[in-house]
Amino acid sequence: MMTHTNIENPEISPILHRISGCPAAIIFWILILCLLPNPVPADTPTLKPDNIQPGQTAASSAVLDEAALKAGIAHRLRTAREDRDDRFQHFSSAHVHIEKKIPVHISDTLTVFAVKLRLMPPVSDASPEFITLVVDDTGTLQIGGIQDLATGSNLVQDVVDQMQAVDISDLPSDFGKLIYTGPGPHTLIVVSDPFCPHCRKGWEFIKLNLDQIHTLRLAHFPLSPAAETAGLVMADAYHRKSMVFEIIDFTYTVLDPSQDPLEILAQYMDEFPELTQNWGITPEHALTYLTDRFLTQIKADQQTIQTLGIHSTPVFFVNQTFIKGFNARKMEAAMP
């Protein structure tokens, strides 16, 4: 026989017995059950309507201190340039303009800002400059790449690339040199350093897809004195309108990227002996000839590219699509 032990409160028990036999009992127990806490398994994730993944852009309660950011940029630029040009002693926050800012969610306690700035030097003969930074909300700390520890992915890179994108309509009409016309439907404009490994990979891709290209323009943006020497040689080829594609192809596929300008010129002279007719018979003569005629143009082209906000290579404009860095998948998608 089973023995039932009554553990009910003796004061409450008579009340329960009186209402258990009527419909009111049902209502009573429903109310009691509704008031009880609903158990949730420990491993059930808590979801928020505005749940945002790290690295995504979204509205944020964080507010960027724009005044502090402008003051810091002004001080940094003034300190860096006033020794070279005393007119920059007057560079102030008023010369720093925030073109665009995007908050980037990193964690529940950290939001950073990708900011595109336009710098207006207090110099009449200087063009505006554009820079893109990632900063904290105080506007006093510049932040580099923020990586997800598990995947190694840069949580701010996509936003920075978005900020640095240049609209093709902003390019000067004569931007870059026309080096190829073909049967394809696509228009390409490339900003490139001949000694940049990714630029060289981009050139390989272009050569493999020449049948897809209608026009190809190349803007050389040498990032080192050695690459500048190669730029002088290509500027000479444009000027003479002779062996342009051949010299560019040699530059991007064969030329050894030495740091010695004379060694670089010697390689060109060995490959294209006819160049000595204008350059002279020695690399020293060639360097003098090319520098006197084309260095000013090279510097002007560099300034134009920097004014657009481009500070690294390669950059591709494929039809209306801006692609920073060489990415074969993105290039193929832009050239269906």
pLDDT band of 56, cuts 50, 70, 90:
low
Angle at 272 between CA 268 and CA 274, to 5 degrees: 125
pLDDT band of 20, cuts 50, 70, 90? very low
Q: What is the pLDDT of residues 119-129, one digit of tens each?
A: 998 887 777 88
Q: What is the pLDDT of residues 79-132, one digit of tens each?
A: 998 888 888 899 999 999 999 999 999 988 899 999 999 999 888 777 788 889
Domains, the chain, with CATH or none: 66-164 (no CATH), 169-334 (3.40.30.10)
Tell me which amino acid residue 32 is: I
Share of the chain above pLDDT 90, in %: 63
Q: What mean pLDDT is predicted for residues 149-155? A: 91
Instruction: Please give the order of strands across the beta sheet that includes 321-324.
Output: 177-181, 213-220, 186-192, 315-318, 321-324
pLDDT at 52 (0 to 100): 58
110-119 and 96-107 beta bridge pairing: antiparallel
**pTM of the predicted model, to two decimals?**
0.68
Which pLDDT score is estimated for 54? 66
What are the contacts of 275-280 at 24+ separation with CB within 8 A? Answer: 275/236, 278/236, 278/240
